Amino acid sequence: MSNLSDSSPHAVPDHLVRAALRVARARDVPVADVPLIAVAEEAGISRSTLMRHLGGTRRALDEAVRAAGVDPGGQKPVRERAVAAAAGLISEHGLVSVTLERVADEARCSVHSLYAAFGGRDGLLHAVYERYSPILDVEAVLAAPHKDLQETVRTLYRLLTDALAREPRVVPAMFADALSRPGDPAVQAVFQHAFSRMVEGVGTWLTGEIAAGRIRDLPPLLLVQQMLGPLASHFLMRPAAAHLSATDLPTSEEAVELFADNFLRAVGTRPPTS
C-alpha cells in the first residue's frame, strides 16, 4: 500500500488504514460502517488515540481509505450482491451451480454472511426467484382493482414476457431445471415455491371471472395452463427461433396481443374487442 501521509489532510498513518480495511473485510461491511472503536482495537490503540490521529473527525479515515483506492462507502449490501451473483450463476450454469461457497466467492462475501442474510441456500434461491420472476408484480396486479378482462390479461402477459426476456435469464433456467430434473427435490422445491403462488393467484382471479360470467366454467388449473402455456412456450423458444432464417418473428408486443386475443376467444363468454 502506498504511503498516504501526503494524500490525507490529517496524515492518517498507513497502519490505521490497513486496520480499517481488515475489520471491514472481516465483518463484510463497508469501511464507512465499521465503528471507530473496532478500528482502534484492531490497531491496538485506544479510541481517543485513534481520534487524535484522525484530527478529531471520521472523515479523515474515509478520505485516506479512498486515497488507497477503496471506496469507503463500500459495495452494495451482501443480500443484494448475493442475489445478483446467484442469478448470474443460474442463468449461465443452472440451479446445480448455486452453492453458498460459489455465491460467496462471486459476491465477495463470506458464507457466514449468506447464512445471516438468507438462513441458507433455500432462502437465497427464494430471494432470487422473487427478484427475477414476475411473482411479486403479478400479485400486485391481481390485488389491485381490476381493469377489464382483456386489459388484465394483456398486463399479465407483459409481465411474464419481461421476466422471460430479461437478463440474467433466471426464469428460463428455472423452467429448464424443472423439466430436465423433475426428480431433484431441490429443483422442485424452488419451482413449487416460485410457481405455486402465481398459479394460485391467477387461478383465484380466473375463478372470480368465471363467477362474473366473463369466462367459461372450466377447471382453474387448465385455464391457467391455457393462459400462460402458449405465451411461455413462445418466449422460451424465441431466442433459438430468432436464428432460423425462415422465421419471421412478431415483435414482443405483437405476440402479447395475439396470444391474449387467442386466449380470450377460446375461453371468454364474449368475443374480445380489438
pLDDT per residue as tens digits for the range 40-76: 999 999 988 998 888 887 888 988 888 888 878 756 7
pTM over 0.85: no
Residues of the chain with CATH 1.10.357.10: 133-267
Query: pLDDT category, 202, cuts 50, 70, 90?
Result: very high
Predicted local distance difference test score (pLDDT) of residue 114: 92
Task: Say if residue 258's pLDDT is above 90.
Answer: yes
* Higher-scoring residue by pLDDT: 55, 84: 84
* Domain covering 14-67: architecture: Orthogonal Bundle (1.10)
Q: What is the reported pLDDT for 9?
A: 47
133-267 maps to which CATH number?
Answer: 1.10.357.10
The segment(s) of the chain belonging to CATH 1.10.10.60 are 78-120
Report d(CA 89, CA 83) in Å as an integer: 10
> Region 250-256: what's the mean pLDDT?
93
- Across the range 227-245, mean pLDDT stands at 87
Domain at 78-120: CATH code: 1.10.10.60
Q: Which residue has the higher pLDDT, 134 or 7?
A: 134
> pLDDT grade, residue 115 (50/70/90)?
very high
